[in-house]
Amino acid sequence: MARYDLGLSWDEFSDLTPSMFVALCKRRNVRLKHEKFANAQTAAAVYNVATRSAEPLTAYDFVRDPKEAEAHEQRQTLKRQIKDAVIRMPQDTDRAKFMRLRGNIIKQLEAIGRTDAAELWAECWPSLVPEGDICQ
């Protein structure tokens, strides 16, 4: 690793302390992340020009780890469901009914363990957040 990944000669490697070697390895990992992100920016630009999808991809979509990607996708799904619930309401629905719907949806999301339910609602419908709500 010292020779191939870090480009160190035997003399340079033998002069390093273990903590110096670990620091070089960490720095190498940072460099790799930067290179990965730069390549992801190119990939996102090419993808967005080549396709006409409703939601363009960002560089983070290419470098996100699988757990982050799954959490992001779950969050997007919940936001779509929140938007659909409001859109299904009749056009002449008064604000009080929307606020009851908001309360019901937040309770349902909290029941399944979401601690960011009010925040999700606020991202989807900022105009339907009660006055003084911290997520506003």
So where are the chain's domains? 1-63, 64-128
Query: Is the predicted pLDDT of residue 99 greater than 50, yes or no?
Result: yes
CB proximity list for 57: less than 8 A, separation 6 or greater: 44, 47, 48
pTM listed for this prediction: 0.53
Report residue 133's pLDDT band, with 50, 70 and 90 as the boundaries: low
Residue-wise pLDDT tens digits, 43-87: 999 998 888 777 888 888 888 777 877 888 899 999 999 999 999
Q: What tokens were used for 58?
A: 């960002």
Phi and psi angles of residue 17, each rounded to the nearest 5 degrees, phi first = -85, 160
